[in-house]
Each structure stands twice: as structure tokens, then as C-alpha cells.
A and B are shown apart, each in its own frame.
Chain A
Amino acid sequence: MTRVRGLVGADVERLADLPLLTGAARYVADVHRDGEVHARIVRSQVAHARIVGIDTADAEAVPGVLAVITADDLPDVRIPIRLPLADTPRARRVLQPPLARGVVRYVGEPIAVVVATDAYVAEDAAELVDVDLDDLDVVAEVATAADPGMPVLHPDLGDNIVSSYPLHHGDVDAAFARADVVVRERLRMHRHTAVPMETRGAIAEVDPATGRLTLWGGAKVKHAVRAALGEMLSMEPADIRIVEVNVGGGFGVRGEAYPEDYLVAFLALRLRRPVKWIEDRTEHFVATNHAREQEHELEIAATADGRLLAFRDRAWCDQGAYARSQGTLPELLPALHLPGPYRWEAFALETTGVLTNRTPVGTYRGPGMTEAAFVRERLLDVLAGRLGLDPAELRRRNLIRDDDLPFTWSLGAGSAPVPPISYQSGAFCSSFETLLERAGYDELRREAATRSGDTISVGVGVATYVEVGAMGPFEDARIAPAADGSFVVHVGVASLGQGVETVLAQIAGDELGVPMDRLRVDHHDTDAVPMGFGAFASRSTPVAGNAVLLAARDLRTKAAKLLGAEPDDVEFRDGHVHGPGGASCPVQDVGEGRGRFDKPHPTFSFGAALSVVEVERDTGRVRVVRHVVVHDVGRAVNPALVRGQLAGAASQGIGAALLEELSYDERAQPMATTLGDYRLPSAGELPDIEVIVLEHPAPGNPLGAKGAGESGMVGTPAAVANAVADALGATGPQVTTLPLTADRVRALLREAT
């Protein structure tokens, strides 16, 4: 293959920064349509209640109000599950209606919508909608949600269990019987979520001539949202167009099909006017997917010399009040990630998704894997303490060895049907060693010991993980040459600020041998790209990137055929294709290059994190002073962007470990509904993240890429937790839950004395 310009692997400047820097970029709130009107959602203020009546008269009487709708005005539809692997008959029975029908099940659940000519008026009028509710008992805790005698959220389900994923490997009882040491702990990862700086929003408009519906504000999975809206509105997907404008961060929660997407579309069809809805921040905290809350009862069996034998885990994973478009992923993903990168002889685990009267849970950067890494890596450190072994040494002895790859877990009878947990490539042990070496682990340990004193304790923590990514099923790409010698790459991904258009243009430019300024990536509009699976599971580069590469090769091959030359010998220049002997033709005569990349199974990749913290002993304040992440990305198309992704994700992971929490009281009232209550880390609370990018190319894909968008997150909360536990002392209190806020740490310190 010719690598004319070496664009792949280079730190090419990001495309499309200019409008972001000058204020010219258009986010969904900046989109205006003639005659647009504004929707405001009336939301439940209680966690569980029967709806006795809704009086909309006062709201309707406000000048400027055009309509107030409730569930009675809607067909009885539900938001469908997006991924077949997360779709089960039980999950389908707890899907969310766009407006509450008869019962509200969480604070923030949409009950009615007010539409007015002005957003301020709509908000005023929404206050006047009078909802008469009879309170019901609530389920406010994940660990007891499935207990007998608890109130049942969805009576026809019979209990609060959405689904369970049991997985078995080897003979666990035999392994535990042989163990010298068994450690067990109840570990809990807390509820927190993505909180992108831009809230969600949507504008829907119907073309009066054709009846076609356009929805601005798409992101992440536009084609899936189009299919969901088609199903719910009884329209052909072809009659729906979803447009993505600039997106102010996604991280998994943004761009799924939500109640509000349906509601604005429904209202635009009914009112025949463009309807706009922009989420406010307080709504965001109760309306946009939450994530992560899980409780695990984990036990690990090992030999006295630090060989891991087996683990058993029983986990309760919160789904919130409904299953949303992500179906059973909140319980499926941790099941796939609990074994991690270690050589277990045996394991038995079961993850159960349970319903509680709180905001539904979706996927946030590193979903399921971050939780699994936290519980496993935390308990491994407890084990290391028990064995008197250095935590890094314990891992070193048990990581799957480099030459054991590829490696696939065989699952025994009684296991749930899940995608193969198969590690195709990488080098777990040596990657971990690279992290320890570059961070100067031994020296850090010595320093921590000497620097710890009466006022400050210093701790070091590590964590390793595997991460699923590059999910299929496939992606299509099309490259269309234009008369001016430029090329447009059409592909069904989503740009959420991660720089994907730059990376895809690099791949196309590298193969075609044309400079970046001749390339444009078009992914914004479902009309321009008929199919696409979107941006999730770190899949844009490994799946769409390979499709783009194949499309570019196709274009090169077609051009060569036309000129009677070899593909490697043609050159794209000045709007023409040139062959070796002076033959040439206009590039538009070549037609389009097309590529499709199929990805039947996801790829697992390895990474690790190392954190150094200082704990101020009187205040309990934790400061992360160094944080290093390593990840095997297979192939870094743009190393600078990859480092930016890893560092950004790690920053979010530090926030998760120390600050961020969506807590609820015993009535299931949310306690964090502003950015004042929900503390995001700022530059003052974060170290400069150190990133090590490793490249062990993935087999079976021409680019060799594995994906990197989520990786910096996965090991970070675990590494920070382990560092804090280390600072508190091996014999000290156990860190079993996050976030490690100053008051939690003070409580731990009190426990220790």
C-alpha cells in the first residue's frame, strides 16, 4: 500500500476548530426555524405516585400558550431498545413512555408538555399545570431493590429485576477449597454521570409540502434515533431526517432516543410549526441518563504466594425506573468485564439489573468496565495487603502473559448467552511494566513512604483493565470526488468533539495521497448518509475508519482501472487522476469509492492507570498529584488527539473518584440538581494527566485500530481509590465506596484511630 503523505500516525491539526474559536459554531440552541415555538416539560417532583388528575386549564389560559399535552394525547408508545444484544422480553416490559401513563416512577419523569411562542412564557405556564398525585412507597436503594416485599415499580413484571447475567468458568468451588487466602468485600460504585457542558436539545420541523420531519440536535446514534422515531410516530424512517449540528460533548449519554426527541417531533407534527426544546441544567440532572451505580459482593481466592485462583461476584446494577434505549447494558457490560486481564482458573459471577425510583441509567464513557475495574482492582489491593505483597507485584504475577494471547474465556453451562470475551491482541504484562517504568513506580513508593507524616499521607495506586470497543455490526463509507479536486467522505458516525472528522480525513487522505485541505467529512445528516451505527463503544476509528480506508482503496482501484494502471501508481492531483505514462482523466469520471467494514465481534483492549495522591489528614482533602494512564490503542491515527481523549477521560475519572455524586435521599429525592451540588473537577483540582499510548495493532482490521475514546476513564477511579487506601495505610479502614470526598475521607480517618 502506498503511504503517500504519511497522514496516518501524524499529529495533524484538528479540522473545524475555527468556528469553535470564533463563536461561529452552531449548537442546537443556536438553530432557529421560522415560526418556531418553545416546549417546556412538566416533570414529576415525587419519585413514585399514582397520577390522579392533571389540570392544564390555567396553563392553557396564559397568553402565548399554544398547547398543553399529557399522556392522554399520545398513542401508547415506548422508546425501543437500540442494540439487539441488550434487548430482552423482560426489558421490553419496562420501557419508558414519553409521558408518564398513570404512574410516575422518578423525580424528573415527564408528565406534560407546554408549548408557547416564547421560552420564558412556556416556563411560566408549565408552573401552572396542576398535577394531582397520590404518593406510593419508593425503592431508593440498589442493593435491596430486588428483595421480597419491596414495592414493585412495574406490577406486570412481578418484581424489580430487569435481567440477570450469570457467567461461569472452571470449577469455582474446587478453586476456593484450595485457596490459602480468601478476601471478600461489599463494594459499591456510586451514581454519577457524564454531564457534558452543553445540555440536550432538539428542534423538529415538518415540511408542509412533503410531510417529512426534520429533527436537529441528533448526535451519537442518529440512525437509531431515526428508526426509533419512525416506529413511535408510525412513519417511514425515510421520511425522517436527523441532523447533527455542533455537539457540546456526549460521553455516551447524549444522542440516544429520549422522551423529549419524540415529544418535539410529535408536537411539530400536531401543531405544524417548528417546535424547539432546550434542556436546562437542573432538568439535565434528572432527565438525562445517569450511570454507574452498582453494588458488588465480591470474593477472591488466592494462594499464599499470590497466585489468583478464582472469584465469585454477585452484583446489583441500577437501571433506575425504566429501561431506556440501552436495554440491559447496565448489567451486561460489567459481567463482560469482571474477569479482566488476569489468569483466573475459575469464576462465577451474576450481575442483576434492578429497578429503583430514580432517573434511568444509561451508558457513560467506559460503561460497566469502569465499575468492574473498581471492584476487582480495589479487592486485589486488599488481597495484596493481606498477603504482604506489593500491589503491582500481585498484578505482575497474575496478568495474562504476552504469549498467551489470543485468549478466550470458555464459559460453562448455565452461563448467559453473551458475545465472546476474547482478547485478540496486545501485551498485557509488558504494557503494565511500561507504565510502572515510565511512572517510576518503585521510586514513587519510596517517596510516598518518606513524605507521609502527621499532616499529609501520600499514597500510590494502580489498576489494570480490559475494555470492550470497536463494536459492529458494520459501517459504510462513500468517498465522492468533486470537480475542484476535493473529496467528500460520507460516513455514519457522530462528532461529539472528539475530533473524529480529522481522524477520518487523515485516513482517506493518507490512502488517496491528498492533503487535508482537500478533504471534507460529511456525517451530519441522515439524508446524506443512509446508514450508520454512530459513536459509542470507542468504535468510530476502528469501524468507520476502516470503512473509509476501504472506500479510499476502492476509489484508487477504480481510477487505476480507468487508466489501465496499477492502483499504487495513480495519483490524485488538481481534480484529475494521473497514471504513470502521462494518462489522466478528470477525477469525477472515476465515480465514487465505496467501502464497508464488518465487525461481527467487538475488540477488547488493555490499559492501566497509576495515581499518586496526597491526603490532608485534618481536612480529609485528597489531591491527585500525579496521574498516568496507558492504553493499547492498536494504532493511533492521530496521537495528539488520542492523548487528548485519554487525558480528558482520565480527568472525568478523577472527578468520579473524588467529587461527583448523584445522591438521593430515602424518599428518592435527588440531592444534586445544580452544578453547585454536583461538583465537576476544574483545572485547580486536576494534575496534568500523563498519557502513554501503546500500539499493538488489532488483527483482522486493515488499520489495526482498537479505539481510545473511553480508555482513560476505565482504570482511573480504581487507581485513585487504591492510592487513597494506600495513603490511609494497609491496615487502615477499607475504601469500599466512592467518591472520596473530604468528609468521607475524614470519616475513614476517624475509623482508623
Chain B
Amino acid sequence: MTWIGEDDSAAVDVVVNGRPTAMRVPARRTLADALRDDGLTGTHLGCEHGVCGACTVLLDGRPVRSCLTLAVQAEGADVETVEGMAEGPELHVLQRAFHENGALQCGFCTPGFLMLALGLLRAEPEAPPERVREVLTSNLCRCTGGGPIVQAVLAAQRELAGDVA
């Protein structure tokens, strides 16, 4: 086993939003900070202690708190952030649903909620409303209280289901 110091840099190979990326980061740098330092500032930090969920990204498809994840833990993984959601100028169904349902005011919590919802709807496209609400309680929105966010995700879920059918 080799030990590295907290500020020694480590090489991390990840795929970020489909793009293979070689990061060199100090061993103690969080994934959130590493992404943000890489220019992906859509991932926000609201608490840095794992409660608010503003920093949620998808790691191999699963929503994680990137403030509690070290960048080195993402070695070899597929990372998705809010910047990868829209296809060019075409917003993702979830993004449009947030806009249409008043699910954002200041927008600070929005990327985290979008990633959380994306992870949920991919893993459980047929999640019942109670399940959607329950999952969304893991993030916090101070402006809207979260109700409109639940409505937005349910609307997006209906739209996605319609597309498939």
C-alpha cells in the first residue's frame, strides 16, 4: 500500500458528461470542488456536510453528494452533472418541467434536484408519487419549500412515460 499526503496530487481518470477527463487533484479535494475547479460550476455547495443535496451529481448513474465524495473515489467512474443534461439548446424534459411548474426561484438548489430526479426517473421510471416525494425530501429548497419541485418531477415523469408509450 502506498500513502500519499493530503496535498499530493493524484491522477484521476473519469468520464464527465460523456467526455473522458484526466484530472490531477490533491488527494483531499472533494469531487464537488474538483468539478467546480474544472469549470463545472453548476454543481453547487450549500452545506458541504451532506444535508442539503445542492451538490448532487450522478456517479455511475446513482445520485451522490459530491461534497462528501473525494475526487479520487470517482476514478474510472462515469460522472454526470447538470451541464450535461440539455442536448445543445434542447432542454431536458425535467428542466422544462421545472420551468413550467414554478419549481425554481433563486435556482441554487435546482441542479442538485435535477440530478436527483434524473437518477430516480432513470432507475424507477414508474415510481409512484409517494416514492417520488420521498426521494425528493433528501434535498432542500428554501425558496419554494419543495412542493412545486415534486409537481415538476411528476409532470416530467408523465411526459416521459407518454413518450415511451
Contacts and interface: CB of A to CB of B under 8 A. Distances in A.
Tell me, yes or no, whether A binds B: yes
Interface of A: 13-14, 17-27, 29-30, 120, 194-199, 246-249, 251, 280-282, 496-499, 640, 643-644, 647-648, 650-652, 654, 674-676, 680-689
B144 A684 contact: no
Given A23-B111, A497-B105, A198 B46 contact: yes
A680 B136 contact: no
Given A22-B86, A23-B111, A644-B102, A680 B140 contact: yes
Contact of A683 (B43, B44, B105, B145): B145
Contact of A21 (B26, B98, B139, B143): B98
A23 B81 contact: yes
28 contacts: A14-B99, A21-B91, A21-B114, A22-B42, A22-B83, A23-B40, A25-B107, A27-B44, A27-B108, A30-B36, A120-B26, A197-B46, A197-B108, A198-B108, A247-B106, A251-B142, A281-B52, A647-B144, A648-B105, A651-B145, A652-B145, A674-B49, A682-B139, A683-B147, A684-B134, A684-B136, A686-B145, A686-B147
A30 B42 CA distance: 9
Contacts of B7: 120
B62 interface: no
Contacts of A246: 106-108
Contact of A17 (B99, B114, B140, B141): B99
B104 A683 contact: no
B24 to A, nearest CB: 14
Contact of B51 (A30, A651, A676, A687): A676
Nearest to A495: B106
A198 B44 contact: yes
* Interface of B: prevailing SS: loop
A249 B142 contact: yes
A334 to B, nearest CB: 24
Contacts of B108: 27, 196-198, 246, 248-249, 497
Contact of A644 (B26, B36, B105, B114): B105
Interface string B95-139: 100110010111111110010000000000000000001101111
A213 B108 CA distance: 27
Contacts of A640: 102
A92 to B, nearest CB: 33
A198 B48 CA distance: 11
B142 A21 contact: no
B51 A675 contact: yes
A686 B110 CA distance: 18
Contacts of A198: 44, 46, 106, 108
A676 B82 contact: no
B67 to A, nearest CB: 10
A647 B106 contact: no
B145 A689 contact: yes
Contacts of B54: 197
B61 interface: no
Contact of B52 (A21, A23, A30, A675): A675
Contacts of A688: 147, 151
A446 B152 CA distance: 34
A366 to B, nearest CB: 15
A601 B104 CA distance: 33
B145 A197 contact: no
A687 B146 CA distance: 10
Given A652-B145, A675-B51, A682-B146, A197 B140 contact: yes
A643 B145 CA distance: 13
Given A29-B45, A683-B146, A21 B95 contact: yes
Interface string B39-76: 01111111111011010000000000000000000000
Given A17-B99, A21-B114, A683-B146, A248 B86 contact: no
Those 7 A-B pairs whose CB atoms lie nearest each other, nearest first: A23-B42, A497-B106, A651-B145, A20-B107, A248-B108, A683-B146, A684-B137
B43 A23 contact: yes
A197 B109 contact: yes
A498 B140 contact: no
Interface of B: 7, 26, 28-29, 36, 40-49, 51-52, 54, 81-83, 85-86, 91, 95, 98-99, 102, 104-111, 114, 133-134, 136-151
A683 B107 contact: no
A564 B151 CA distance: 53
Nearest to A17: B99
* Interface of A: prevailing SS: loop
B99 A13 contact: yes
B106 A30 contact: no
Contacts of B99: 13-14, 17, 21
A686 B106 contact: no
B120 to A, nearest CB: 13
A683 B150 contact: yes
Contacts of B98: 17, 21
A683 B136 contact: yes
A652 B141 CA distance: 10
A675 B47 CA distance: 7
A648 B40 CA distance: 29
Contacts of A21: 82, 86, 91, 95, 98-99, 104, 107, 110, 114
B133 A684 contact: yes
Given A281-B49, A499-B105, A20 B143 contact: no
A199 B41 contact: no
A598 to B, nearest CB: 30
Given A281-B49, A496-B106, A644-B105, 8 more contacts: A23-B43, A23-B82, A23-B83, A29-B45, A683-B141, A683-B147, A686-B146, A689-B147
A648 B145 contact: yes
A686 B142 CA distance: 12
Contacts of A22: 42, 82-83, 85-86, 91, 95
Nearest to A280: B48
Given A23-B43, A683-B145, A248 B107 contact: yes
A196 B51 contact: no
A512 to B, nearest CB: 25
A683 B133 contact: yes
Kindly name the residue among A13, A20, A198 whose own CB sees the greatest number of chain B CB atoms within 10 A. A20
Contacts of B51: 674-676
A540 to B, nearest CB: 14
Given A23-B41, A27-B44, A652-B145, A682 B140 contact: yes
Contacts of A194: 142
B98 to A, nearest CB: 6
Contacts of A247: 106
A25 B105 CA distance: 13
Contacts of B106: 20, 196-198, 246-249, 496-497
